[in-house]
Amino acid sequence: MDTMATLPDDCTRVLQQYLEPAIFRALGDPTRLALLARLASAPGALTVTELSSCCGVHLSGVSRHLRMLHDAELISSARQGREVRYRLDCAALTTTLRGMADALEQCQASCCSA
């Protein structure tokens, strides 16, 4: 049963704004979570090589995971010479998670009575 179909239209619109599949895919993998944690604890931006030590994944695998995090707009990247350096986008992650929590709270009565 599609519970989104049973919610009021305004609640559905608010939830759909934050319930993006790309974000859940990005956050739904232990390696990507380890990469996010490493970026969060770093004093600055890190390269793929620097990030690879956190999760025991080959450089090409780390690059694929970083691309997914980047596509979900959870991290940013900047080229410096021949290297690409990655940084956690704290503002984007915080805004997304806080928005998701606020939307769920706003619709709580509708969700719980369904």
Confidence bin at 13 (pLDDT 50/70/90)? confident
Beta bridge partners of 83: 80
Confidence bin at 3 (pLDDT 50/70/90)? very low
Per-residue model confidence (pLDDT) at position 8: 64
pLDDT, tens digit (0-9, with 9 covering 90-100), for 17-32: 777 888 889 999 999 9
pTM over 0.85: no
Ordered by where they begin, the domains of the chain are: 23-109 (1.10.10.10)
How many residues are listed for the chain in this entry? 114
What is 58-75 written as a DSSP string?
-HHHHHHHHHHHHHTTSE
Task: Write out the H or E segment, with its range, that includes residue 85.
Answer: strand 83-88
pLDDT, tens digit (0-9, with 9 covering 90-100), for 32-90: 999 999 999 999 999 999 999 888 889 999 999 999 999 999 999 999 999 999 999 99
Instruction: Calculate mean pLDDT across residues 86-114.
Output: 81
Report the alpha-carbon distance of residue 28 to residue 65 in Å, rounded: 11
